[in-house]
Structure 1
Amino acid sequence: MGRYVADFVCYERRLVIELDGSQHLNSPEDQARDADMLAHGFLPLRFWNNEVRTNLPGVLERIQTALNDRTPS
């Protein structure tokens, strides 16, 4: 995605999904990246790796909700 490498992208709904480890905690770089993505019309969703392992249904529900709330481009 431009100058970024994203974990997952849905261009049709302009949704970016990032799976993060602890090195991303309070990361200024991630905050700047998210702001840039928002400025370009993409919604970044971030999930902790542990959250994916322990609460996959909740993660998938948040993704589905975001997809449903966004208009296809």
Structure 2
Amino acid sequence: MAIDTRSDTWKDVSGWAKARLAKARSALESDATEHEQTLALRAQIKLLKSLLELPSAAPTKTESEVAFGIEPP
């Protein structure tokens, strides 16, 4: 299933993710960030980047398509 990047929903999701990504990057660059917090921020950044890359990701098959050998349209 493809993501409609022109939809209001995706615009809201991507806007939220971009704002969180900027905040996480800023916190990561801070000298006051502890090592454990750095690890958590790096994981959060990786997750947010993955979310933003979803529209360009290859489509995956559903469980039914795999189980029954159905090819998506």
The answer to which structure has the higher strand fraction is 1
For normalisation by structure 1, the TM-score amounts to 0.27
The answer to which structure has the higher helix fraction is 2
For normalisation by structure 2, the TM-score amounts to 0.27
- Structure number, greater radius of gyration: 2
